[in-house]
């Protein structure tokens, strides 16, 4: 933990950061790489001169690193953009010509709006949008409900790997196989998953997979995986002379942010180093996977400590799986307290220098279905591996005082 926390200078603050699902602290390595790019390579790509060529190599290095993070088959399958919201809007626009009136797209009620709104827009083209409901007793998505929705006209199913409100890991591999067997594609929002478990787009055989790097220890930047054959079929969003085979540039209009793309590579450098600390050998990817095993183990301890406290409260409703030891649970924990305003709880926790959040977290349709939108949503505690047991104990003690009022 000393090594981990040393890599995040922001943790030297007096605050305990437990709003990580909104945005994690950034690695020193990312800041260092961004600075390096600005001071050594801050020129436009495509020039014949050496500095421009070095800048091109740095940009390519960032893409290669993030391809390793996704376990993509090739770097060209990675598209950079300012946020997951923007990237999925880009994706829907670039796919629009593939849809015809009467085609169907299925979205879920549990998603962040980033993976709903871009597909609902297709209604303007005559596409029918269907909502995959969750089981309100278990807060989970069920294949039986999806099966009832899918027809021969279903072209795409968009769903979340982990809801940023429920914290439950959906079985992406199983759902993807189910959808592919019925002739449709999948688009997965991984924003709330990527900080907690290793991503493996090849093993899961997903078509499109998006995540926010600023919620995964990096700068305010995002990445979208598009499987190579699908990437070639997407319409370009850049200049008319960027053909279908100019990938991934055709999906990065105005060019991707060079320095943030390069700087984001330090996320992988850090995870590799963390894997080495745990004694991992082999490829960078193997070391990264080892790091995530340790990350999951640390987060399980923290998650169960918080959920154990909340389970003991008769006035508390936990959204999602209540057992912190369940491997399907990440430490993104939302709850309501009977008779207590989530906003007031968070404002009082501010006085204890504990950063948590209230609201619907842009999962408005889910909050509406749970009937909590009108009451300031829920309180959310979102932890990650750099949080400590001591910080969680501080959180619990502060909650005890705040909720006793």
- Which of 112-121, 189-198, 236-245, 320-329 bottoms out in mean pLDDT, i.e. has the lowest? 236-245
Q: Which domain holds residue 217?
A: 29-268
What letter would DSSP give residue 235? P
Average of per-residue pLDDT values in the chain: 97
CA distance 258 to 13: 29
Give CA separation, 298 vs 86, 165, 168, 245, 291, in Å: 32, 21, 17, 43, 11
Exposed/middle/buried for residue 400 (C-beta within 10 Å: 0-12, 13-18, 19+)? exposed
pLDDT at 204: 98
**Same domain for 240 and 144:** yes
**Same domain for 310 and 219:** no
**Same domain for 326 and 237:** no
Chain segment 133-148, per-residue pLDDT in tens: 999 899 999 999 999 9
Chain segment 336-377, per-residue pLDDT in tens: 999 999 999 999 999 999 999 999 999 999 999 999 999 999
CA distance 215 to 25: 8
| Confidence at 201, pLDDT banded by 50, 70, 90 | very high
Report phi then psi at 19, rounded to 5.
-120, 40
State the chain's maximal CA–CA distance in angstroms: 68
pLDDT at 50: 97
Classify the phi-psi angles of 184: left when phi > 0, otherwise alpha if psi is within -120 to 50, otherwise beta: beta
Cα end-to-end span (Å), the chain: 34
**Same domain for 208 and 144:** yes
**Same domain for 340 and 292:** yes
Q: What is the CATH number of the domain that holds 55?
A: 3.40.640.10
pLDDT at 110: 96
**Same domain for 199 and 161:** yes
- In 92-231, the DSSP E strands lie at 104-108, 128-132, 134-135, 140-141, 154-160, 185-189, 208-212, 222-226
Percent of the chain with pLDDT over 90: 99
Query: Could you tell me if residue 278 is inside a domain?
Result: no
**Same domain for 221 and 87:** yes
Query: Could you tell me if residue 274 is inside a domain?
Result: no
pLDDT at 163: 97
**Same domain for 236 and 290:** no
Chain segment 2-41, per-residue pLDDT in tens: 999 999 999 999 999 999 999 999 999 999 999 999 999 9
| Confidence at 244, pLDDT banded by 50, 70, 90 | confident
**Same domain for 33 and 9:** no
Percent of the chain with pLDDT over 70: 100
User: 214 near 24, Cβ under 8 Å?
Assistant: yes
For the chain, what is the domain count?
2
pLDDT at 261: 98
Q: What is the CATH number of the domain that holds 306?
A: 3.90.1150.10
Q: Is the pLDDT reported for residue 405 higher than 90?
A: no
Chain segment 36-77, per-residue pLDDT in tens: 999 999 999 999 999 999 999 999 999 999 999 999 999 999
Q: What is the CB neighbour count within 10 angstroms for residue 26?
A: 22
Chain segment 172-187, per-residue pLDDT in tens: 999 999 999 999 999 9
CA distance 264 to 62: 6
Across the strands, what pairs with 130? 106
């Amino acid at each position: 933990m000393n090594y981990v926390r040393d890599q995040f200078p922001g943790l030297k603050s007096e605050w305990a950061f437990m709003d990580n699902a909104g945005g994690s602290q950034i690695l020193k390595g990312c800041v260092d790489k961004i600075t390096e790019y600005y001071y050594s390579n801050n020129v436009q790509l495509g020039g014949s001169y050496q500095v421009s060529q070095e800048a091109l190599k740095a940009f390519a290095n960032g893409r290669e690193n993030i391809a390793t993070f996704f376990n993509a088959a090739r770097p060209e399958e990675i598209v950079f953009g300012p946020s997951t919201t923007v990237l999925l809007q880009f994706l829907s626009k670039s796919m629009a010509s593939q849809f015809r009136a009467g085609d169907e797209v299925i979205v879920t009620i549990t998603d962040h709006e980033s993976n709903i709104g871009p597909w609902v827009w297709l209604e303007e083209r005559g596409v029918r949008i269907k909502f995959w409901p969750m089981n309100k007793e278990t807060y989970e998505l069920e294949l039986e409900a999806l099966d009832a929705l899918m027809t021969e006209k279903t072209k795409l199913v968009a769903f979340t790997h982990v809801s940023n409100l429920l914290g439950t890991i959906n079985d992406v591999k199983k759902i993807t196989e189910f959808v592919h067997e019925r002739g449709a594609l999948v688009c997965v929002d991984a924003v709330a998953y990527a900080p907690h478990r290793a991503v493996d787009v090849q093993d899961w055989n997903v078509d499109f997979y998006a995540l926010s790097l600023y919620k995964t220890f990096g700068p305010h930047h995002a990445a979208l995986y598009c499987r190579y054959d699908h990437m070639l079929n997407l319409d370009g969003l850049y200049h008319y002379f960027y053909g279908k085979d100019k990938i991934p540039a055709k999906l990065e209009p105005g060019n991707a942010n060079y320095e943030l793309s390069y700087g984001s590579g330090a996320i992988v450098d850090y995870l590799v180093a963390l894997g080495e600390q745990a004694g991992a050998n082999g490829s960078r990817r193997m070391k990264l996977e080892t790091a995530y095993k340790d990350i999951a183990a640390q987060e399980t301890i923290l998650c169960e400590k918080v959920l154990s406290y909340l389970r003991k409260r008769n006035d508390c409703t936990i959204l999602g799986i209540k057992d912190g030891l369940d491997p399907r649970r990440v430490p993104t924990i939302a709850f309501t307290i009977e008779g207590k305003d989530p906003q007031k709880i968070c404002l009082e926790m501010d006085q204890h220098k504990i950063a948590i959040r209230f609201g619907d977290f842009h999962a408005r349709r889910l909050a509406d279905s749970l009937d909590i939108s009108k009451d300031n949503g829920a309180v959310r505690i979102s932890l990650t591996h750099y949080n400590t047991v001591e910080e969680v104990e501080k959180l619990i003690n502060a909650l005890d005082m705040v909720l006793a009022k």
